[in-house]
């Protein structure tokens, strides 16, 4: 292992520099040519080609190792020309002349290939080092973000809890009768405070996901009932700005879920649809029931998502900012957290979008397996009739 590392380090220590187009490169090429001329003159004067001529291989090898292909070709060509001249001008055997004419380009080619290989090895190792450094930097940044989410959510939770407590007391009359004007806005304040608390819960859940500390509390629940309850809150908060259609949730749809988490997921899908669609547009929510699954489709008439932006859609802090959506508030956690929560339930979230026409986000959740049919009536307990899968007003 040590010898392999030593050999690799030795090769990298001799890694060539690309001198094409630089003053140093041309100066080195000129030096190689001068050496070759001196060697050729010495060969002619000594009349013993091979005694001095072998030295010509050294500048050829050096040029091939350090220079670009263009300069290497010039030096190699000059060396071959001088070798040919010494063969013509001096009493050199034909076999010796041919051998040198073949060896010069061959050695140059081998040296150039070796130089290129070493450069690739060095570049690969530099890239690996940079990748490791970048990966470590990203991990540190993600860790800092998670720590910030944890601290911020814990610091906000106390004041928001106090605010919600007083708002609840105002709403139920504990603090006395309110003036009519104030009484009209209290429900909106209560819903807004619940929305802030929902954002804090998301921040905490995102941090717990990073630490693998997020646990689900599953129980048997009615997904249709959850949608109907959510519809009341959404209509209260956003009924004046958007139109809503709630379909397919008039009959029970039993599922095994963490109610609070799935409420967060559907709330995020609705929040995105509201934020990214124009005022007065329709947001269509459809609950579809299949043999082994239940799907909640949230369709909006917003600006849509470009195909090149889709890969960033469900990433952590991955907000898609465009000129028409730059003023839309958000943390970039909603869709990331929603998809992770859906997957922890054994489900998935998918998105289909057409720019300038709108998007459809779909939450799919598994449904409990139906029990065996009863012998007497041939009916199946817990099985939902296919007719319930048809869309209808909630």
| pLDDT tens digits for range 140-151 | 777 777 677 677
Q: How far apart are CA 11 and CA 173, in angstroms?
A: 83
Label the pairing between strands 348-354 and 358-366: antiparallel
**pLDDT recorded at residue 287:** 96
pTM of the model: 0.53
* pLDDT of 193: 85
Which CATH number is 219-389's, of 3.40.50.10860, 3.30.565.10, 3.30.70.1290, 3.20.20.20?
3.30.565.10
Q: What is the DSSP letter of 368?
A: P
Look at residue 51 and give its three-state secondary structure: coil
- Give per-residue pLDDT as tens, 157-191: 788 888 888 888 888 888 888 888 888 888 888 87
pLDDT score recorded for residue 46 = 64
* Sign of the alpha-carbon torsion through 77, 82, 83, 88: positive
Residue among 356, 191, 363, 362 nearest 278 (CA) = 356
Rg (CA), the chain: 38
Q: Is 64 exposed, middle or buried (0-12, 13-18, 19+ CB in 10 A)?
A: buried
Which residues in the chain land under pLDDT 70? 1-21, 44-53, 90-94, 146, 149, 210-213, 321, 323-331, 370-394
DSSP 179: P
């Amino acid at each position: 292992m040590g010898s392999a590392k030593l050999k690799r380090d030795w090769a990298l220590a001799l890694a060539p520099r690309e001198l094409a187009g630089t003053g140093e490169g041309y100066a080195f090429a000129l030096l190689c040519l001068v050496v070759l001329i001196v060697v050729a003159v010495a060969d002619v004067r000594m009349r013993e080609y091979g005694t001095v001529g072998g030295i010509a291989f050294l500048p050829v090898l050096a040029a091939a190792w350090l220079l670009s292909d263009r300069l290497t070709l010039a030096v190699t060509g000059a060396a071959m020309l001088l070798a040919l001249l010494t063969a013509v001008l001096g009493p050199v055997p034909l076999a010796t002349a041919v051998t040198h004419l073949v060896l010069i380009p061959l050695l140059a080619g081998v040296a150039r290939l070796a130089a290129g290989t070493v450069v690739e090895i060095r570049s690969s190792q530099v890239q690996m080092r940079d990748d490791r450094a970048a990966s470590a930097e990203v991990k540190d940044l993600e860790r800092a973000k998670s720590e910030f989410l944890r601290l911020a959510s814990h610091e906000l939770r106390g004041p928001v809890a106090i605010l919600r407590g007083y708002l609840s007391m105002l709403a139920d009359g504990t603090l006395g009768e309110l003036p009519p004007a104030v009484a009209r806005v209290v429900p909106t304040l209560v819903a807004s405070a619940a929305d802030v608390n929902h954002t804090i819960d998301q921040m905490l859940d995102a941090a717990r996901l990073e630490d693998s500390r997020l646990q689900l509390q599953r129980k048997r629940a009615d997904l249709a009932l959850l949608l109907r309850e959510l519809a009341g809150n959404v209509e209260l908060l956003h009924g004046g700005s958007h139109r809503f259609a709630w379909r397919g949730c008039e009959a029970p749809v039993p599922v095994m879920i963490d109610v609070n988490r799935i409420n967060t997921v559907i709330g995020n899908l609705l929040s995105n649809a509201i934020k990214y669609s124009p005022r007065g547009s329709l947001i269509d929510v459809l609950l579809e029931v299949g043999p082994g699954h239940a799907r909640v489709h949230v369709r909006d008439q917003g600006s849509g998502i470009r195909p090149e932006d889709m890969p960033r859609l469900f990433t952590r802090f991955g907000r898609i900012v465009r000129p028409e959506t730059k003023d839309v508030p958000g943390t970039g956690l909603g869709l990331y957290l929603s998809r992770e929560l859906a997957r922890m339930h054994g489900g998935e979230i998918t998105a289909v979008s057409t720019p300038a026409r709108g998007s459809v986000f779909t939450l799919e959740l598994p449904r409990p397996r139906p029990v065996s049919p009863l012998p007497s009536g041939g009916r199946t307990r817990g099985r939902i009739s296919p007719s319930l899968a048809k869309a209808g007003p909630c």
